[in-house]
Structures are given as C-alpha cells and as structure tokens.
C-alpha cells in the first residue's frame, strides 16, 4: 500500500549538526525527533533548524543523552531511524549473548529504540574501519542483533563522497535494513563527479579531489604526511575553512555556525556527506513505497 498524503518520517540519532536531517529532508522525509548530547553541536543544530522545524524544539523533541531516552514515551512514531553512531567495541563476555550483555555500547540504544518503536527501516553510518573494528567482532554483533534478534534485513556498503558529487573520497560504511526481512535493498548507483577542488576554492587548486575532511589535527602543512586541510591554490598554500568544508560535505552555503572556526571544522569533520544521505534516503523511501 502506498502513501501519498504525508511524507515519510525519520528520527535523527547522534544528530551532530544535522547532516542526516538535511539529506533526508532533501529526499522528501520529515524529521520528528532528534538526539545529540554535545552542547556545541546542539547549538549549531538549533541555529539551522529552529525556523524550519520549530516543533522539534518547542515540543522537547530535540533530546540530549540517548541513553536517557524512553522510546515509547519520548519518541513519536516514525518510519526510518537514522544514526551516525560512535564505533565502540563489545565486551568479549557479551559477544553473541544478546541485548543484556551489550549495555554501555551506544549501538545498544539504537537496537533498543528499533525493538520498542519497530520502524519500517533504518539507515546507519559509520567509518569504514567498523568492518574490522575489534577484530571484526563489532560489525558481527551489529549484524547479528539486527538480523537474529530484531528480525530486520541487513545490507551494507562502503560509499565514497566522490560517488555522489563531492570532491573528497571520504569512504563510509552505510547499513540499511527493513522490518520485512525478505526485502532486498539496492544502494543507489553512483553519479559522475562534476566538481573539483578548484570549484570548492573558486580558484585553481593543484588537487582535483580533496583530502577526507577530519574532525581534528588541523595545521599540518603541505609537506606533512598527516596534512589534510592545506592545499596549493593559485600557487599559494591555502588552508581549508568552514566555507570550503560546507561545500565538501554537501551543506548549503547558507548553513550557519554559531561557534568558533575550530569548532565548525570539527563539526564538519564529524558529519556525513549530505548528498550521499539524500541518495540513500530516496532509495529507502522508494523501497518503502514498493513494499509497505
């Protein structure tokens, strides 16, 4: 059965500054709940969504600590759970022993919300290294909990920013699942990269594709092997700033940072690539329309 009147809804967990929110909104979905504990990130989220989504803030739907969320009391019904969650190891004692032994790991809070709210779908994002994190144990537990204990489908893929329009590789692991475990989800096909770092800077840059934006360690310089934020632009050493960082992550130029430049760069480095979320979100919504 298809739904035509109201948009699909989603919740934005570990919301950061709202990369998932922007991407899912562009895909045609509506945010009905968000959670982020970091005060500086909350300030940026509020600054950019208070006018477009006032109900999130007036109705106490912009939560802080996810571990304090009571799903059936605090979270409205929704269709898609979105989360770019921290990557943490599971204890050896907890491996393959279900929910009771995974407390303290923040993925457990995602599983808890899925179990109690039973959304139609989820989209999770993490660093590529999650595949091998803690000897592969973390990814195995995540997949097993989702498939065996929650009875959701589970599909994963590493996607680069360059595949969806931004000139930085930024490979990230995306995981998608549905409450009907027989659904076969296909990730969106990659697109031709049309922008280069010269477009980002508005001047001739020596690199066509930029370094992956990071959340710390700025100021290494062109000659440093750890450098990721310094470029040769029109023959001059130029450091990337929030304006360029927004473009590299697919944020609109109008996005505002009510924090220091150092904080803004950290927040951008922690965020998701908005066009990737938009593409995956559209594919998830299409799958929902065809199967629910």
Query: 230 an active-site residue?
Result: no
Token readout for 103 is 């407390």
What's the Cα-to-Cα distance from 274 to each of 26, 60, 151, 231, 271, rounded to whole Å? 9, 25, 29, 23, 9
Catalytic entry in 82, 87, 215, 230: 87
Q: What is the 3-state secondary structure (H, E, C) of the chain?
A: CCCCCCCCEEEEECCCCCHHHHHHHHCCCEEEEEECCCHHHHHHHHHHHCCCCHHHHHCCCEECCHHHCCHHHHCCCCCEEEEECCCCCCCCCCCCCCHHHCCCCCHHHHHHHHHHHCCCEEEEEEEHHHHCHHHHHHHHHHHHHHHHHCCCCCEEEEECHHHHCCCECCCEEEEEEECCCCCCCCCCCCCCCCCCHHHHHCCCECCCCECCCCCCCCCCCCCCCCCCCEEEECCEEEECCHHHHHHHHCCCCCCCCCCCHHHHHHHHHCCCCHHHHHHHHHHHHHHHHHHC
Residues acting as catalytic residues: 87
């Amino acid at each position: 059965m298809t739904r035509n009147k109201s948009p699909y809804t989603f919740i934005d967990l570990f919301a950061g500054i709202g990369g998932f929110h922007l991407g899912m909104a562009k895909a045609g979905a509506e945010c009905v709940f968000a959670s982020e504990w970091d005060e500086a990130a909350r300030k940026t989220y509020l600054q950019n969504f208070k006018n477009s989504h006032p109900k999130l803030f007036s109705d106490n739907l912009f939560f802080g600590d996810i571990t304090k969320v009571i799903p059936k009391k605090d979270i409205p019904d929704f269709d898609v759970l979105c989360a770019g969650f921290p990557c943490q190891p599971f204890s050896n004692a907890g491996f393959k022993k279900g929910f009771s032994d995974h407390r303290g790991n923040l993925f457990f809070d995602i599983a808890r919300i899925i179990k109690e709210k039973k959304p139609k779908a989820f989209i999770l994002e993490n660093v590529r290294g999650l595949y091998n994190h803690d000897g592969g144990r973390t990814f195995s537990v995540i997949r097993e909990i989702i498939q065996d204990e929650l009875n959701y489908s589970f599909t994963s893929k590493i996607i680069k920013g360059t595949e969806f329009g931004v000139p930085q590789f930024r490979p990230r692991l995306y995981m998608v699942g549905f409450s009907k475990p027989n659904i076969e989800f296909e990730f969106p096909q990659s697109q031709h990269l049309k922008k280069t770092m010269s477009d980002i800077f508005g001047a001739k840059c020596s690199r066509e594709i930029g370094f992956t934006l990071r959340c710390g360690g700025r100021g290494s310089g062109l000659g440093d092997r750890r450098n990721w934020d310094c470029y040769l632009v029109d023959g001059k050493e130029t450091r990337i700033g929030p304006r360029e960082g927004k473009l590299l992550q697919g944020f609109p130029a109008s996005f505002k940072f009510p924090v220091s430049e150092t904080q803004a760069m950290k927040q951008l480095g922690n965020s998701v690539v908005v066009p990737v979320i938009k593409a995956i979100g559209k594919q998830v919504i299409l799958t929902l329309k065809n199967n629910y």
